Amino acid sequence: MNRPAALWLAVGWGGFALLPWYGVEDGFWSFAWLFDYPAGADAAPALLQILLFGRWWLAPMVLALAAPLVVLWRQRSDPLFSTVLLAAGSFGTVCFLVQGFAIGLGGWEYATLEAFFGPLADRQFGMGYGALLVSASFLFLFAQGIAARGAINGDGFVIGSIALVMALVAAFIFFPVVRILASAFQDNDYNFVPYLFVEKLFSRDIWGVGCLTANVNCGVAWNSLLMAIVVGVSTTVLGLAFALLATRTGFRAKRLLRLLSVLPIITPPFVIGLAIILLFGASGTVTQAIEAITGTTPGRYIYGLPGIWLAQTLAFTPIAFLVLIGVVEGVSPSMEEASQTLRASNWRTFTTVSLPLMRPGLANAFLVGFIESLADFGNPLVLGGNFDVLSTSIFFAIVGAQNDQGRAAVLAIILLAFTLTAFWAQHRWLGHKSYATVTGKGDAGLHVALPRRVTWLVYGSALPWAGLTAVIYFMIMFGGFVELWGRDHSLTLRHYIDAFSITTGAGGLVWSGAAWNSFWTTIYISLISAPLTAAVGLLTAYLLIRQKFAGQEAFEFGTMLSFAIPGTVIGVGYILAFNVPPIELTGTGIILVICFIFRNMPVGVRAGIAAMTQIDKSLDEASLTLGASSFATVRKVVLPLLRPAVIAALVFSFVRAMTAISAVIFLVSANYDMATSYIIGRVENGDYGLSIAYSSVLIVVMVVVILLIQLVVGQRRIGRRDEAVNVAFGAGGAVG
């Protein structure tokens, strides 16, 4: 008997004949459905759905589950074995998809089908665990069929993994994006109305240039572009200044700069915006100082482009710093020395050799800042005022009074076009250089000292900025202890008590603080999604680095794509795609977990790629020739050696799940509210004290959890390769 095939077939039958086919109310794990099981229409498995409830469209799948039984005892090398598995797997998948998409909440989804088959008395809901297992079974049976054909060394585990990752990426990245594209052509009642698309695409509030001539707002697309360019330039310049400061000057407090580079990782971006309000808002410290000195009231000057620019530059400069420090260090000293031996002065060496050599790196840093800025949602929401940008407009198109899905889709497409163009440019310019590992070859020589003018410029820009950053973080950490910022500066614990009080009630401890609910949800969701994200990411990295298969480049592009898809776009896509059958997930915690997995997966992929390129491939091969399957090889050889990358991926996915806002804000529900969206809600109510208190708690919790993860996953036994972690942190510049 072929064991893997038998296993997956058993899984398939289990899903078909035992588990509820449709998603059950109250969630599967509540087990409330057991009362209704197995003969209730909601909880019945597929087999009974066919027999008792006449859902005949599920019947063809029986065929696909029965056929493999016939060949289970045949040799793997028998052509019939692979043919039957391939046929069953693909036929089953097609049946599964067709019935899922053809029949929905209102019966037939397509009028042509209704006309052909006649109206359907019945309808169906979102799929559940039974359907999940059956579809997984089809997928892996298909993979076993390919393996039996001898592709990729006949390795069922590798082929299954490829199929799994492809299916997941298709379902949770491509499908939502396609749904956006589709709904851009639809009105709110899902009718196909192409002229509406054209109308919305070219509407004045997107592309208008009225601000140039009259005193009206420009289109959101121009606003977004302008903001992204300004932020890209300023983060690049400041990032370069910090990188030069760290590597080319005698600056003493270099460790502090390292700290600076970790901060944005653990800070939800909009928290910076919050601190800026406390400083420059209507009753902010600086505003009041100006009032006191000049006697005039500056008003809401910070809202709009200046505030967003300040917040984003503060938030994203450290990312540019991380990108550029590698670039600055990468300029070979021997080039600079060569220039000097040709009698060039320091200044000329810097401007004619060093800077041009850094040009691709600078372009990269700019593009990273550009993409980050476009994708940022929290800061424009908090500080935007009347200055609308794409990411916030998308949000308001969905949740606001407009509730215009078509408009949200059109805006999302424009935003996606911007970021994808930048992403594409980045890839073209830099190719795969970002993966290159440091070779062991030492490049002798010392970097040439910076010309004096440049040194002053570096100090002059970097130090004040570092000071401002310090002030901002001081505000974040201590703003929560002040009664009412700007009005009443008496110290208080009130905000912390409001948010995190615990009282003893009748049933013991009561988590009575307002923040506990969202706090625990956040921790819980982040802790669930971190290991899953790391697993999917590292598995993908393993497939990319250690295996060769047809279509590998497309595979890589697909998995890295979600890096370039702004969170708001994903949020809209998920709402459009997963609000209705066949996959009905909105309002659950699962959709948050899935969203995090696929938004953060590239981080795991990069960490894995960076670490795996440093591990000799012959280690895997040695394990294979010693009789270990590739699954055992991954478990016993690759994973233990990847421990630093595992830590990096875990930490990153955890932290990013805790700090994410842009996609999350579309997906939270009353039951599953996340900390960031809760804080944003409070900010909108002007409740700054509690917001900042909550934010500081989040930051502290993240630091603690990071340390804990490091402790639990443990130290490496072969003390080397710390780099992987750093590489991963360096690559962490992703879209917010």
Q: Is residue 355 close enough to count as binding another protein by CB under 8 A? A: no
Question: Is position 94 an interface residue for another protein (rule: CB under 8 A)?
Answer: no
193-222 as b/e, with b when 16 or more CB fall inside 10 Å?
eeebbeebeeeebbebeeeeeeeeebbbbb
Smallest separation, CB 709 to another protein (Å): 20
Over the window 33 to 72, marking each residue x when it contacts another protein by CB under 8 A and - when it does not, the resulting string is: ----------------------------------------
CB of 156 to another protein, least distance (A): 9
Nearer Cβ to another protein, position 348 or 716?
Answer: 716
Question: Stretches 41-49, 149-157, 479-487, 687-695: which one binds another protein (CB under 8 A)?
Answer: 149-157
CB 134 within 8 A of CB 96: yes
C-beta of residue 729 within 8 angstroms of C-beta of residue 648 = yes
Note whether 226 and 217 are within 8 A (CB). Answer: no
* DSSP-derived 3-state class of residue 548: coil
Residues in contact with another protein, counted by CB under 8 A, come to a total of 26
Question: In whole angstroms, what is the distance from residue 670 CA to residue 663 CA?
Answer: 16
CB of 720 to another protein, least distance (A): 9
Residue 4 binding another protein, by CB under 8 A: no
Smallest separation, CB 271 to another protein (Å): 40
Q: Going by C-beta distance under 8 Å and a sequence separation of 6 or more, which residues neighbour residue 227?
A: 305, 308, 309, 312, 373, 374, 380, 389
Q: Which is nearer to another protein, 11 or 624 (CB)?
A: 624
* Per CB under 8 A, 550 contacts another protein: no
Per CB under 8 A, the segment of 132-140, 474-482, 510-518, 617-625 that binds another protein is 617-625
Q: Rounded to a whole number, what is the distance in angstroms from the first to the last CA of the chain?
A: 49
Residue 626 is a binding residue for another protein (CB under 8 A): yes
Q: Report if residue 618 touches another protein, rule: CB under 8 A.
A: yes
Type and span of the H or E element at 228: helix 220-248
> Helices in 384-451 by DSSP H: which ranges?
390-399, 405-430
Please, how many CA atoms are within 13 Å of residue 378, restricted to the half-sphere of its CB?
31
**CB distance 537 to 649 below 8 Å:** yes
Q: How far is CA 14 from the centre of its chain?
A: 33
Residue 439 near another protein by CB under 8 A: no
CA 525-526-532 angle, to 5 degrees, is 95
Contact code string over 105-144 relative to another protein, x by CB under 8 A: ----------------------------------------
625 is a site residue for another protein (CB under 8 A): yes
Rounded to 10 degrees, the C-alpha dihedral 726/730/732/736 comes to 140
Which residue lies nearer to another protein by CB, 331 or 611?
611
Identify which of residues 441 and 720 has a Cβ nearer to another protein in the complex. 720
Task: Give Cα separations from 141 to 277, 312, 518, 550 (angstroms).
Answer: 57, 48, 41, 20
Contact flags string 632-671 toward another protein, x per CB under 8 A: x---xx--xx------------------------------
Binding-site member from 54, 150, 210, 356 for another protein (CB under 8 A): 150
Residue of 628, 697, 701, 713 that binds another protein (CB under 8 A)? 628
Nearer to another protein, 12 or 608 (CB): 608
**Site membership for another protein, residue 717 (CB under 8 A):** yes
Q: Which is nearer to another protein, 438 or 626 (CB)?
A: 626
* Cβ-based nearer residue to another protein, 78 or 443: 78
CB of 71 to another protein, least distance (A): 17
Rounded CA gap, 165 and 558, in Å?
10
Distance CA(442)–CA(440), nearest Å, equals: 6
CB of 152 to another protein, least distance (A): 9
Verify binding: residue 155, another protein, rule CB under 8 A: yes
Among 630, 676, 677, 695, binds another protein (CB under 8 A): 630
Residue keyed to tokens 């974040």: 476
Residue 104: strand, helix, or coil = strand
Distance of CA 588 to the CA centre of its chain: 18
Q: Which is nearer to another protein, 425 or 628 (CB)?
A: 628
Contact range with another protein by CB under 8 A, out of 107-115, 334-342, 625-633, 651-659: 625-633
Pick 189 or 616: Cβ nearer another protein? 616
- How near is the Cβ of 77 to another protein at its closest, in Å? 6
Q: Which stretch binds another protein (CB under 8 A): 95-103, 286-294, 362-370, 715-723?
A: 715-723
Burial class (CB in 10 A: 0-12, 13-18, 19+), 111: exposed
Stretch that binds another protein, among 188-196, 223-231, 374-382, 621-629 (CB under 8 A): 621-629
Cα(514)–Cα(345) distance, rounded to whole angstroms? Answer: 63
Only segment of 67-75, 194-202, 488-496, 627-635 that touches another protein (CB under 8 A): 627-635
CA nearest to 287, candidates 279, 543, 295: 279
254 touches another protein (CB under 8 A): no
Of 477 and 624, which has the nearer Cβ to another protein? Answer: 624
Phi, psi of 325 (to 5 degrees): -65, -35
Cβ–Cβ < 8 Å for 730, 323: yes
Neighbours of 729 (CB within 10 A): 18
624 binds another protein (CB under 8 A): yes
Q: Is 79 in the site for another protein (CB under 8 A)?
A: no
Find the shortest distance in angstroms from Cβ 68 to another protein: 20
Of 51, 259, 622, 703, the residue at the interface with another protein (CB under 8 A) is: 622
Q: How far apart, in whole angstroms, are the C-alpha atoms of residue 733 and residue 736?
A: 9
Does the protein bind another protein through residue 85 (CB under 8 A)? no
- Closest separation between CB of residue 533 and another protein, Å? 24
Closest by CA to 365, choosing from 303, 421, 429, 417, is 429
Give bridge partners of residue 488 from the DSSP assignment.
484
Judged on CB neighbours under 10 Å (0-12, 13-18, 19+), 444 is exposed
- Cβ–Cβ < 8 Å for 419, 566: yes
**Applying CB under 8 A, does 440 fall inside the site for another protein?**
no
CB of 463 or CB of 628, closer to another protein? 628
Decide if residue 553 touches another protein (CB under 8 A).
Answer: no
From the list 9, 12, 3, the residue with the least C-alpha distance to 157 is: 3
55 or 546, CB closer to another protein?
Answer: 546
* Range in contact with another protein (rule: CB under 8 A) among 26-34, 335-343, 512-520, 714-722: 714-722
Q: Is 554 in the site for another protein (CB under 8 A)?
A: no
What are the strands, taking DSSP E only, across 350-507? 482-484, 488-491, 503-505
Smaller CB distance to another protein: residue 488 or 616? Answer: 616
Q: Determine if 428 is a binding residue for another protein (CB under 8 A).
A: no
Q: Which is nearer to another protein, 98 or 622 (CB)?
A: 622
Q: Does 80 engage in binding with another protein (CB under 8 A)?
A: no
Strands 482-484 and 508-510: unpaired
Shortest approach of another protein to residue 623 CB, angstroms?
A: 7
CB 529 within 8 A of CB 652: no
Q: How far is the CB of 85 from another protein (least distance, A)?
A: 16
Query: Residue 202: what residue type?
Result: F
Short-list 20, 59, 11, 14, CA closest to 42: 20
Hey, which residues between 556 and 585 contact another protein (CB under 8 A)? Answer: none
Interface residues toward another protein, by CB under 8 A: 77, 150, 153-155, 616, 618-619, 621-630, 632, 636-637, 640-641, 716-718
